[in-house]
Structure 1
Amino acid sequence: MAPDFTHALPYLFLWVAFGAAMWRGPRLVGPPLIALSLTAAVVAGIVEWAGVAVLALFAGACLAAVRADLSLVLRTLSWGVVVILTLALGMNQVPSIHNVLALDRVSVSASSADFTLYWNYDALFAGVLLYLVCVQPQANTPWRRALVATGGILVPTLVVVLGTATAVGYLAWDPKWPAILGVWIPSNLLITCVFEETVFRGVIQRHAGRFLRGRVPAPAFVALLVASVAFGVAHIAGGMTYVFLSTLAGVGYGAAYHLTGRVEAGMLVHFLLNLTHLFLFTYPFAA
């Protein structure tokens, strides 16, 4: 069942903050919306006060990491805190943050495995903060050009990833109209894709490309591969086949980011691949 309004409100504030930053930049409305989200999360029982302290530390570390006027030592230490807390938040390892259970051991079809779905407030908070502070500003690519480039990447990514997954037996053809869309779409598009694409494309691929410039041939290509492999390894809990498939998908997401300079392009390819997976194949994998 869908989370009620009290539990959904903290997520809504973060989604509005993300949308405002995407269209207008993060400086004016981002901080108040994040504060409102945290307040609503405390009231809803999603975040305890110890969790507020962790999220405040994460926000402070993000702000310090991008301050050019701070010493290299302080910025390096800040990036260390950002990396550690991003891992902890993304892996739901902060015990004082209680994510909202949206689906409990459901099956979308007879041939699909059961799965449980949480709306992960910790990952969403990390993704939105990183997007506002460490990713913006991005390339000002005209939207028509960005859509054309994204569409050009989407089709081969769908064919390669879903075709390979079917060939190795991880997925099976299973067209359907899932009853879980109302809960699944916000979780996948606005939590999973926002967090993962911000981290792996907006932070890792972007900063790896800058670091490798002048050090290796084709630094942008190497950075894309680094981010894609990191994305695959992050899914190791699903097994080595899932790592391989996630790495393949990461190449497509990274290519969309590289061609547009916008993490939203990676998010769109990521979401549409997952949506196609849900509609046309066993989800999350064959039973």
Structure 2
Amino acid sequence: MTILLTPYLLLIMATLGLWFKDKRIAWGLFGLSVIAGLVLQRITWTGLLILLISVALGWVTSRKGRCPVIAWSLLLLLALASIVHLLPGFNNYLWLDNIHLSDKALPIRTWVNFDKPAIAFVILAFLQPFAHKLSEWLEALRSWAIMLPSILLMIAIGWGSGFIRPDLTLPFWLPLWALINLVLVCISEEVVFRGLLQGRLLTPVLGPKVALVVASLVFALPHYPGGPALVALAFVSGLFYGGAYLLKRRLEAAILLHFSLNMIHFIFFTYPAAR
């Protein structure tokens, strides 16, 4: 199992490495993750071609002019397809299969994905501003703190609807799950929905409210396999993540809020949902 996780762990390090000013190490780790994925058959040559196309689209999108609009649209389509795992060439790894965290919860099934976070890495590397200075991190933390009460509301909605119930869970593999969830889920999804989609829709024509609602709706739709209740909860949570992003245009605030909710849900309530 440890060997099969190698491409994903390298991708995690590459993604976190983007927050350093020198991006060469991050790109090097990304390249190693792709090579490891090919060797361990987590990626095929078709998947490699898709990643190269995403890099080209990311580079063009970061330029000025008319072509970047077309490139942005194609990159968004690739990103959305990766989120629902429609891209060919990626053999994602089933890490936890039919695990019952408690008698109160439905069984958990966790895939460790390469397609979604790899496309998100490219978007993050080319298009997103990072918090480097202390003042920038403080802006992100303030935005996160302002929106933190929204987690209580989300928990109240989930508990009141019967979707979740109190249930303390601390499995030994929680630290690895938390790392995977932070980078391969929270960062990846916020990069696409808040950074690429909502950020680009923040124009004088549409305005912040329309951008927020559209991004939240698109964020909610991939949750449909979990049923209408999960889609509704995802839409509301998307509004809060987008709100955290809007306050100071700091993607880190949305990532932290998303991760905070996921961790509280996992540790203190039935995960993924109540029976």
- Corresponding residue for 2:141? 147
- Corresponding residue for 1:44? 40
CA contact (8 A) 1:25 1:136 kept: no
- Corresponding residue for 2:193? 200
- Corresponding residue for 2:19? 22
The two structures, once aligned, show a CA RMSD in angstroms of 2.0
User: Secondary structure of 2:75's partner?
Assistant: helix
Residue identity in the other structure for 1:237: P
Residue identity in the other structure for 2:110: L
Give 1:32 deviation, angstroms. 2.4
User: Secondary structure of 2:20's partner?
Assistant: helix
CA contact (8 A) 2:131 2:137 kept: no
Partners of 1:183 and 1:17 lie apart in 2 by 16
Q: Which moved more, 1:220-229 or 1:191-200?
A: 220-229
Give 1:127 deviation, angstroms. 1.3
Q: Which moved more, 1:225-234 or 1:96-105?
A: 225-234
Give 1:282 deviation, angstroms. 0.9
User: Secondary structure of 1:103's partner?
Assistant: strand
- Corresponding residue for 2:169? 176
- Corresponding residue for 2:91? 98
- Corresponding residue for 2:249? 261
Residue identity in the other structure for 2:15: F
TM-score (norm 1): 0.88
Residue identity in the other structure for 2:122: L
User: Identity, % of aligned pairs?
Assistant: 28
Residue identity in the other structure for 2:93: V
The unaligned stretches of length 5 or more in structure 1 are none
Q: What is the correspondence of 1:150-229 to structure 2 with a 5 Å cutoff?
A: 150-154=144-148, 156-209=149-202, 211=203, 213=204, 215=205, 219-229=207-217
- Corresponding residue for 2:111? 118
- Corresponding residue for 1:249? 237
User: Secondary structure of 1:118's partner?
Assistant: strand
CA contact (8 A) 2:165 2:269 kept: yes
Among residues 76, 84, 98, which one is paired with 1:83 in the alignment?
76
CA contact (8 A) 1:139 1:261 kept: no
CA contact (8 A) 2:19 2:131 kept: no
User: Secondary structure of 1:142's partner?
Assistant: helix
Give 1:88 deviation, angstroms. 2.2
CA contact (8 A) 1:172 1:286 kept: yes
Residue identity in the other structure for 1:33: L
The unaligned stretches of length 5 or more in structure 2 are none
Residue identity in the other structure for 1:160: L
Partners of 1:31 and 1:242 lie apart in 2 by 35
CA contact (8 A) 2:6 2:33 kept: yes
CA contact (8 A) 1:102 1:117 kept: yes
Partners of 1:208 and 1:260 lie apart in 2 by 16
- Corresponding residue for 2:269? 281
CA contact (8 A) 2:76 2:197 kept: no
Q: Which moved more, 1:9-18 or 1:254-263?
A: 9-18
- Corresponding residue for 2:260? 272
Give 1:161 deviation, angstroms. 0.7
Give 1:284 deviation, angstroms. 0.4
Give 1:279 deviation, angstroms. 1.1
CA contact (8 A) 1:178 1:278 kept: no
